Each structure stands twice: as structure tokens, then as C-alpha cells.
Chain A
Amino acid sequence: MRSTRSLLLPLAVTVTLIVAACGSNQGDNTLTLYSGRSEELVQPLIDQFEEATGIEIDVRYGESPELAATLLAEGEETEADVFYAQDPASLGSVAALLAELPNTILSSVDERYRDRDNRWVGTSGRVRSFVYHTGTDIPLPQTIDDVTNPAWASQIGVAPTNGSFLAFVAAMILERGEEATSEWLEALAANDPVDFPANSPIVAAVDARQIDGGLVNHYYLLRLRAEGAGADAENHFIPAGDVGSLVMPAGAGILASTSNLETARRFVEFLLSRQAQEFFATETFEYPLVEGVEQAEGLPPLSEIVAPDIDLSALSGVLDRATELVAEAGLV
């Protein structure tokens, strides 16, 4: 008797806790979001939306390509209504599952930062940057090829498995072709870079001068400063107009299989609202993509960054090839 009772109690506690913690009820007033952007970055914004509209959002957080693969595997039976991804490549790879967006949504964003077939729209901009220690005496790279210069040997941090780095390599394939990209990756590998699991530890390592420079996205330094460090590191935007300063939007698309089209549109519209765009500028330190919203302090205007001219819609076609080339070069 005692043993059965001792098992029943935890079971009862469990059921209560799970019901309390989960509380997912499907209906018109709920939306399922697959977010390749992390909870830390976007949950506060989602909370704002829920509060303002009374709509409940169930979020599945993951890496963008992972969620894209999940969507492809789930097909039309997916529960997801909206896919919110870090990068155009992930959005592009599920384009066939996405519904065409209305002009009211598309028109607020520059056409460089949205899909040519109107399946997804950029919501905030992230720029590839070269983060460096302010005390370094090595000349800063003027093109992306300069990072393979022996002066930077053993001094450059890379995150070869990170989605942003892979998207950058994919962009290089589009710009230069596979062979030239392979050569660049091999030259980088030969320069003995220090590999990291993600961007933020690169920035921390540069700030601590374990290394002098690193290939990252621009906002990680601002993020580190918000944590109370990062005073000895600075962002450098490679001025050559090559993929070193790729501007890559995070973006969103609506699943064609949704039974919640109106609510899904409201959410995407919300991501482009002034409230959300200001959140990106001040909280995640990204570039707002809608006209008339001020960017974060201390960043050059997006128009001053010499970005390459790349068809972001085509990135998805070469993303897996980019992963393979990075592995073949021995960077992972």
C-alpha cells in the first residue's frame, strides 16, 4: 500500500505541473510559430504581441536549418503557421511550403531584403562584421581575402558550424563560384583559425585578447556590451563590397497549410510594425528594415555599408554545398 501511494503522489503532482506549464489549447486565437531565432532574442517581443492582441503563440525554438528540415519532413501536416528564421537560406529551402505574402506586407521592406517570389519578407538586418581587439597592430582586412593573410595567422576566430557563417559561405559560392570558395576556405584553414561553437564566444575571446579578430555578425559585440563587457573590442565592416560585409535579413513566411491565415498575417505585420522594428534596433541591436525607424547607437547607417549584390533567394540552393565545402576544407 505504501509503495503504491508513494508512486501515485508524484504522478498527481506531475499531471498538475504539466497542465500548468503547458497549457496549450488550440483554436483561432492561437498561433504556432517555428522560430529559428532564439528565445532570448525574440520571446520578449512575442510577449508584447500576445499582450496587445490576446492571441496565444506556441513557439518551437530551434536552429533555422533544423526547423526548415522539420517543416520539409512534416509537409502539409505541420502545425506551424509561421516560420521565423535567422537567414534567407532556411526560408528559401521551404519556399514551396510558403504562401505568397500580400503586398501590404511586402511593400514596407526594400526589395533587396525579401524573396523575389514573395514567399518571405525580411524583418531585421544583420551584417557580417570583422570584430577586432582595439589594441591590435595587425592591419584590418580591406577585403575578405585579407583574413587569409599570414599576419592574421592563429589570430582569427571562426564559428564554422554556425548558421551565419554557413550562409556567408553560401553567399560566397553565389558570388565567386564553388572552386574559388573552396580555395578561400582552404586558405583560411591554412591560416590556422581558432574555431568556436558560436559567435558570442568569439567576441568574448577578442575582447579578452585571446585572439585579435573574428568573423561574426555585428550585433554580438553590442550584446556583450549589454552584459557588462566588450569594451576592448570593436566592429569593422569590410569596405570592399564583397561577402565580408554581407547584409543578411532574418525573416518570416506564412505556411500555405495554415488554417489561421488572418492571425498569421497579423503576426508578420506585427514584426514589421514600428514597435517591433524599434525592439530590433534597441534590444537585439539589429538593423530595422522598415523606413523611418532609428537604428542602434554607434552603428553606421545600413546605406553606408558596402554590401555585395547577392540574390538572397538563391542562397538556399547552395547552403548544403557550403556545409560540405567547409567540412572538406577541414574547418570543422
Chain B
Amino acid sequence: MIESPARVSPNLGVKRRSPSSGRGWLWAASAVLIPTLIPPATLVWLVASRGIDIGIPARRLTELFVNTLGLTIAVTTTGLLIGTLTAYVTARTDISGRRAWMLIAALPLVVPSYVAALTIIGATGPGGVINEWLGWSIPTPYGFVGSWLALSIFLAPMAHLTLVPALRQIDPSTEEAAIGLGASRLKAFLTVTIPQARPALVAAALLVGLYTISDFGAVSLLRFDTFTRAIYTLYVGQIDRTPAIALSLILMVMAVAIILVQRKATTRATYYSRRVSTPGIFKLRGWPKVAAAGALAVYTILSLLVPVGVMARWLIRGLGAGQGVDQFWDEAARSIGVAVAAAAVAVIAAFPVAMVTARIKGRGAGLINSAVWAGYAIPHIAVGVAVVTFALRAARPLYQSLALLIVTYMAMFLAQAMGSAEDSLLRASPDLEHASRGLGSGPFATLRRITLPLARPGLLAGAALVFLSVMKELPATLLLRPNGFETLAVRIWSATGEGFYTQAATAGLVLLAVSVVPLLAVTRRDFSD
């Protein structure tokens, strides 16, 4: 092998070499994407082959569309507001115990939306825990209001987690300059801080918006008629699956449209080895301090104490009434096992994708990035409907197999693993890799000694995020799990449907306890100075 130019001039060498090594990564990344393309391809093929007459009145479609879009916009707005508030107060002010608050505000991420809805139902109403403890009853907010509240409160941590690192990287000198020139603190925040945090805000809005459009648990339990609820109802309640498939395609198109709009609004980042400056800390005095502490306290009560309190109360009430309580060891083992497997597969798959999007770039990288995000955006109920049908018709040996479930999780959550890996690679300059090659190391040695260690924190953080998502995932798991493979999420769902609240509460508490572990791993990385 003659690669002398590389030894003389790293830059020249990269240009000559990248077509060959780059193609390898491109091939690997493309192969990894096949599972993410199966659900959309299947839905389009099914609807095309069965005709577009789905037998659902236009009035109904309009209603579902308006409800889904309205909820998505509302939750994105309030989720972003709450997340920005918690992130700013804990990352940029001197509020006492801010490190603890920073972590606490991220914790509600472990609460799945169906558990959130369940606790709203259990806390409110005349028979609710609030009435039992405080003596006054709040009517249960079914429909839009309840779904909006549940999703805003429990999705805000997504914005919080995205914004904390971004807010801490903002150079405080620009804000100080604005204040020095006579701007108020609020004006400096709005005109200097927020514009600098714009990429993170857009990313957070995308995460919250896509989760809302995909959410199935909260809208089902709180009876708000969105596409996901209608699809599930049709899927489980009707023998003919055509209407469920058609609605899945419509919902998928909506989600992908959101991605396309977002991609127009942002450009790809390039920030090799950017120095993180010491975050500027503002001193809070007087009523803003009280208000900030009060807001954090109220948020913590609503997002953590209420769900845990309500479930603990149900457990105690059930035990008091002589209910036997399952241990859920098997379900916990299955949930953890499948989540670890999916996280490992997703991280392995994400690495070549991140190499393409962070190192090689170009048109192919843009396409691959879009495909990964499309896989993340397609609502899980639609993925479930599509993959079941695909496996039945075209991949029979995989039908109802654990392998198919794990690969489907990988396709749905690859974006989370890719995002973290890409971030690590962007922070590490490719010059190190060039130097390694220039000093005579082969591509594999460079990969093993330089690139992988640099990407390692990102890969592990990505794995933790995927683990968390799989633990909470419900609709695709309901449709795709192998026979007898009941997970914690599935048990919470079925126990709730049959009124076994003691069981649901027990499984819910186990799920929260298990999910806290990977979340702590993620926050330890993101929140460290």
C-alpha cells in the first residue's frame, strides 16, 4: 500500500483517502438504515395496493388532524417554556441547591406518558388522592386539557436536558455587555441569551413535538381523540386492518413533514474542540429568587411527588384490601434485557452513521441523517402496525421474534444514539485521526485507539437514552412482542385497562426505579462542568 502523500501532508492525504474509507462508512450506514425504511415503505405499499378508499368520513379525519396538530403545538409551547425555565434557573443562576435542582428537573423523563395520565386520573376527582388528603376535589381533566398538562409536565425534561448544556456554553460576556449598556436582565435574556440558544431551542421543540404527535398512552387514557388513539382503537377493535393502516400512513406523513420543516430551519453544526467557557452565574435577589424557587418546587411536586405518591397510595390501598401483589421480576428482567439489547444494537449501528454525518458529510450524509430522523419521527403505533404486516407478508421467520422487536427499537431510537455519538465526534477534531494515520497507524488501529475512545462518552450516553426510551415504549411493544413476552410497560397498560390498580401501581414503581439509573448516567455527563 502506497500512501506516501498522507505521511507528508495530512490534509492532502485525507482528501485522497476519504473516498475509499468514506465509502466503507457510507455502506455501513446505509445498511443500518434498512430497518428504518421498512415501516414507511410498508405503509405506502399497503395503502397503494389496497386503494385509498379507507371508509373513514372526512369529518372524522379533519377532527383527528386538528386535535393531533393542536395538541402538538400546545405541548411544544408549554413544554419548551417549562424546560427553558428549569434549565435557565438551574444552569445560570445562584439559586441554592442548583445542582440538585438541575437533576431533579430532569427526573420526570423516566415517567412514561401512560403513567402520567394514570396519576392525573388517580389524583383528581372525588375519589382521587387529592380529595383524600386535602379534602377538596379537582374534576378530572379529561380530553385536551388533561393530555396537554400530562405531556407538558413530563416532556419538559427533554427541553431541560437539551438546554442546560447549551445555556452553559453561552459566553456570559455578551449578556454582561448588554446589561452594562443599560438593558434589563429580562431584556438581556430575551435579546442576547435566547438567540444564542436558538439551535438548542429548535432541537428541544423538535423532540417535544415529535414525542407529542407520537404519544399514545396519555391521549388514550385521558380520552383525547388523536390519530394514535384512533389507530389503536381500530387496530384492536376491528377485524379489518385497512383503516388502521391508512390512518398510520397519514400520521407518518404528518410527522415527517415536521422533520422537513425543522431541517429547513437549521443548518448542520461544525464545532471542533470548542472550549466550554465557565458559565455566567446571575445572582438572584428578592422576589425573582422566591418565584424561581417556588416554580421549581411546584414543578417537582407535580412531576415527581404526585406520580410516586398516587401509585404508592394505590399500592397501600390494594394491600389493605387484601390484594396479592405480583413481584414483576420476570417483567422487569424482560424490560431490562430488551432495553439493554436495543441500546447495544443502536449504539453499534449509530457509530458508522455518526462517522458519516460528523466526518464525511456531503449529500449522502444529509440523506442518511434525514432517514435516521424520519425513523425517530414515525409514531410508534404506525411503526408497529407496519412492521407486523411486513413480517407477516415478507419476513415470516422474523414474525413475533425478539430479534425483530430489538431491530425495530433500534430503528425507532437510532437518532438518540446517533445524536450523542455525532456530538462527541464533532467535539473531537479529526486532526487527531489524521495525525494517527500520518504517523503510520492503519485505519483500524486509528479507529480503535483514537476515534472510538473519543466517541465513547457520546456512545454511552446514547445507549442510556435508548435504554430509557425502550423501557417506556408501549404501542410498538404491544404489537410486536413475542408470545409470552410481557414487559413492565405492557403489564401497566393491561392492568390499568382491567382496573387492577394495585398491580399497575407496583409495575409502575418498578419501572420508575429501573429507569432512574440510566437517566442519572446521562445527566452526570451532560451536567458536569
- Interface residues of chain A, those whose CB is within 8 Å of chain B, are 1-4, 6-7, 10-11, 13-15, 17-18, 20-22, 24, 32, 38-41, 58-63, 65-66, 68-69, 72-74, 77, 79, 93, 161, 163, 166, 195-201, 203-205, 207-210, 220, 223-224, 226-229, 316, 319-320, 323-324, 327-328, 332
**Beyond the given A4-B448, A40-B500, A68-B239, could you list 16 further A-B residue pairs with CB under 8 A, ordered by the A residue number?**
A10-B344, A17-B334, A22-B484, A24-B483, A32-B483, A38-B494, A39-B495, A40-B494, A161-B237, A198-B496, A200-B498, A208-B127, A210-B125, A223-B500, A226-B321, A227-B500
The answer to whether B456 and A228 have CB atoms under 8 Å apart is no
Known pairs A17-B336, A201-B121; A229 contacts B498 (CB<8 A): no
- Which one, B234, B237, B459, contacts A3 given CB within 8 A? B459
Interface membership of chain B positions 306-344, coded 1 if the CB is closer than 8 angstroms to chain A and 0 otherwise: 000000000001101111000000100110111011011
Please, could you name 20 A-B residue pairs with CB atoms under 8 Å apart, sorted by A?
A: A1-B448, A6-B460, A10-B344, A14-B337, A14-B338, A24-B482, A62-B236, A65-B239, A73-B389, A74-B392, A195-B223, A196-B223, A201-B499, A204-B499, A210-B139, A220-B499, A223-B500, A229-B317, A323-B238, A328-B57
The answer to whether B499 and A79 have CB atoms under 8 Å apart is no
- Which one, A196, A200, A204, A320, contacts B238 given CB within 8 A? A320
Closest to B234 in A: A323
The answer to whether B320 and A228 have CB atoms under 8 Å apart is yes
Instruction: Please measure, in the bound complex, the distance between the C-alpha atom of A47 and the C-alpha atom of B460, giving whole angstroms.
Output: 40
- Which one, A6, A59, A223, contacts B498 given CB within 8 A? A223
Known pairs A195-B223, A324-B55; A229 contacts B127 (CB<8 A): yes
Chain A proximity of B45: nearest CB distance (Å)? 16
On chain A, the residues within 8 Å of B238 by CB distance are: 65, 69, 319-320, 323
A-facing residues in B449-463 (Cβ within 8 Å): 452-453, 455-456, 459-460, 463
Chain B proximity of A79: nearest CB distance (Å)? 7
Closest to B495 in A: A40
Known pairs A18-B338, A209-B126; A227 contacts B236 (CB<8 A): no
On chain A, the residues within 8 Å of B463 by CB distance are: 10
- Which one, A7, A18, A93, contacts B337 given CB within 8 A? A18
The answer to whether B333 and A17 have CB atoms under 8 Å apart is yes
A-facing residues in B365-406 (Cβ within 8 Å): 389, 392, 396, 399-400, 402
On chain B, the residues within 8 Å of A204 by CB distance are: 127, 499
The answer to whether B237 and A59 have CB atoms under 8 Å apart is no
B246 on the interface (CB 8 Å rule)? no
**Residue of B238, B241, B389, B478 with highest tally of chain A CB at under 10 A:** B238
- Which one, B139, B338, B459, B483, contacts A60 given CB within 8 A? B483
Known pairs A58-B483, A93-B239, A204-B127; A21 contacts B337 (CB<8 A): yes
On chain B, the residues within 8 Å of A11 by CB distance are: 340-341, 344
The answer to whether B233 and A332 have CB atoms under 8 Å apart is yes
B220 on the interface (CB 8 Å rule)? yes
Interface membership of chain B positions 118-134, coded 1 if the CB is closer than 8 angstroms to chain A and 0 otherwise: 00010001111000000
Known pairs A72-B239, A227-B317, A227-B499; A7 contacts B338 (CB<8 A): no
> Which range contains the number of B residues in contact with the other chain?
35 or more
- Which one, A6, A73, A226, contacts B456 given CB within 8 A? A6
On chain B, the residues within 8 Å of A228 by CB distance are: 317-318, 320-321, 323
Instruction: Please measure, in the bound complex, the distance between the C-alpha atom of A77 and the C-alpha atom of B483, giving whole angstroms.
Output: 15
The answer to whether A65 and B236 have CB atoms under 8 Å apart is yes
Those 3 A-B pairs whose CB atoms lie nearest each other, nearest first? A200-B499, A228-B321, A17-B337
Chain A proximity of B376: nearest CB distance (Å)? 22
The answer to whether B483 and A79 have CB atoms under 8 Å apart is yes
Chain A proximity of B52: nearest CB distance (Å)? 18
- Interface residues of chain B, those whose CB is within 8 Å of chain A, are 55-57, 60, 121, 125-128, 139-140, 220-221, 223, 225, 230, 233-241, 317-318, 320-323, 330, 333-334, 336-338, 340-341, 343-344, 347-348, 389, 392, 396, 399-400, 402, 448, 452-453, 455-456, 459-460, 463, 478, 482-486, 490-491, 494-503
On chain B, the residues within 8 Å of A227 by CB distance are: 317-318, 321, 323, 499-502
- Which one, A4, A200, A224, contacts B497 given CB within 8 A? A200
Closest to A323 in B: B238
Instruction: Please measure, in the bound complex, the distance between the C-alpha atom of A21 and the C-alpha atom of B128, giving whole angstroms.
Output: 36
The answer to whether B498 and A40 have CB atoms under 8 Å apart is yes
The answer to whether B237 and A323 have CB atoms under 8 Å apart is yes
Instruction: Please measure, in the bound complex, the distance between the C-alpha atom of A7 and the C-alpha atom of B448, giving whole angstroms.
Output: 13
Chain B proximity of A167: nearest CB distance (Å)? 10
The answer to whether B336 and A3 have CB atoms under 8 Å apart is no
Instruction: Please measure, in the bound complex, the distance between the C-alpha atom of A62 and the C-alpha atom of B486, giving whole angstroms.
Output: 11
On chain B, the residues within 8 Å of A10 by CB distance are: 340, 343-344, 463
Closest to B232 in A: A161
The answer to whether B494 and A2 have CB atoms under 8 Å apart is no
Closest to B121 in A: A201
Closest to B244 in A: A69
Instruction: Please measure, in the bound complex, the distance between the C-alpha atom of A11 and the C-alpha atom of B235, giving whole angstroms.
Output: 34
The answer to whether A63 and B344 have CB atoms under 8 Å apart is no
Instruction: Please measure, in the bound complex, the distance between the C-alpha atom of A60 and the C-alpha atom of B399, giving whole angstroms.
Output: 13
- Which one, A77, A163, A229, contacts B396 given CB within 8 A? A77
Known pairs A22-B485, A24-B483, A65-B237; A226 contacts B494 (CB<8 A): no
On chain B, the residues within 8 Å of A14 by CB distance are: 337-338, 340-341, 344
On chain A, the residues within 8 Å of B486 by CB distance are: 39, 61
**Residue of A6, A72, A224 with highest tally of chain B CB at under 10 A:** A6
On chain B, the residues within 8 Å of A65 by CB distance are: 236-239
Closest to A20 in B: B333
Instruction: Please measure, in the bound complex, the distance between the C-alpha atom of A7 and the C-alpha atom of B60, giving whole angstroms.
Output: 48
Known pairs A2-B453, A14-B337, A203-B499; A59 contacts B484 (CB<8 A): yes
Known pairs A200-B497, A209-B126, A228-B318; A59 contacts B483 (CB<8 A): yes
Instruction: Please measure, in the bound complex, the distance between the C-alpha atom of A301 and the C-alpha atom of B358, giving whole angstroms.
Output: 72
Instruction: Please measure, in the bound complex, the distance between the C-alpha atom of A10 and the C-alpha atom of B499, giving whole angstroms.
Output: 36
Instruction: Please measure, in the bound complex, the distance between the C-alpha atom of A301 and the C-alpha atom of B453, giving whole angstroms.
Output: 72
The answer to whether A22 and B402 have CB atoms under 8 Å apart is yes
On chain B, the residues within 8 Å of A58 by CB distance are: 483-484
On chain B, the residues within 8 Å of A24 by CB distance are: 482-484
Chain A proximity of B404: nearest CB distance (Å)? 14
Instruction: Please measure, in the bound complex, the distance between the C-alpha atom of A327 and the C-alpha atom of B400, giving whole angstroms.
Output: 31
Instruction: Please measure, in the bound complex, the distance between the C-alpha atom of A14 and the C-alpha atom of B342, giving whole angstroms.
Output: 9
Known pairs A14-B337, A66-B235; A7 contacts B347 (CB<8 A): yes
Chain A proximity of B135: nearest CB distance (Å)? 15
Closest to B452 in A: A3
Chain A proximity of B43: nearest CB distance (Å)? 16
